[in-house]
Amino acid sequence: MPRGRAAAAAAFVCLGILRGQAPVPGDGPRYTPEGMLVKPEYREWVFLGSGLGMTYGPAAGGEPRFDNVFVSPSAYRRFVETGRWPDGTVFVLEVRLAESKGSINQGGHYQAGVAAVEVHVKDEKRFPSKWGFFAFPENAATARVIPPGANCYSCHEQHGAVDTTFVQFYPTVSKAAKDKGTYQER
């Protein structure tokens, strides 16, 4: 390849990355040789929304907790374009303790330490229903998939607005799904 063309090709790749047009390498699911999911490095992923004390049944009692939901950047960008989650999408639910009194804060709640991390992965070849759930014990670097009969699968399948995901609670992406016709009222 002539020098000019090689440089132009490299520049094209760089520009694509900078503009967010190219898929982000490395934000898909990673597994150990034994099939355990490696805990994603999600701190810089796209924030979809948060809840405080949300409950799908009778109130659990006790101090409410925050639920922060993040998604892998390449999946977010694809969803905004198409209203669909691509194969390799990774969701992270980060549950955080809530505090009320601290520093100058007098009321309401703010976020404190992480109480739990759960992950929802779309991997069409690996999981019978295309999606797998994982719960990471504290300080665990890997987790085994939760078996398909568990409640999380049936609840997400019955109530998720888009492809077993709770897009109805993520205002950052619900409009894209409605615009693209992939949103189901649930």
Contact positions toward its own copies, by CB under 8 A?
A: 3, 6-7, 10-11, 13-14, 17-18, 20, 25-26, 43-44, 46-47, 49-59, 64, 66, 68, 70, 73, 76, 96, 102-114, 159, 161, 166, 168-172, 186
Contact 65, 115 (CB under 8 A): yes
As a whole number of angstroms, the distance between CA 30 and CA 68 comes to 22
DSSP summary character for residue 2: -
From the CB of 125, what's the least distance to its own copies, in Å? 25
As a whole number of angstroms, the distance between CA 130 and CA 163 comes to 10
- Of the pair 18, 181, the CB lying nearest its own copies is at 18
From the CB of 133, what's the least distance to its own copies, in Å? 17
Q: Between the CA of residue 30 and those of 61, 88, 89, 159, what are the distances in Å?
A: 36, 10, 11, 27
From the CB of 41, what's the least distance to its own copies, in Å? 10
Q: Which helix (H) or strand (E) holds 69?
A: strand 65-71
- Of the pair 145, 176, the CB lying nearest its own copies is at 176
- Of the pair 144, 178, the CB lying nearest its own copies is at 178
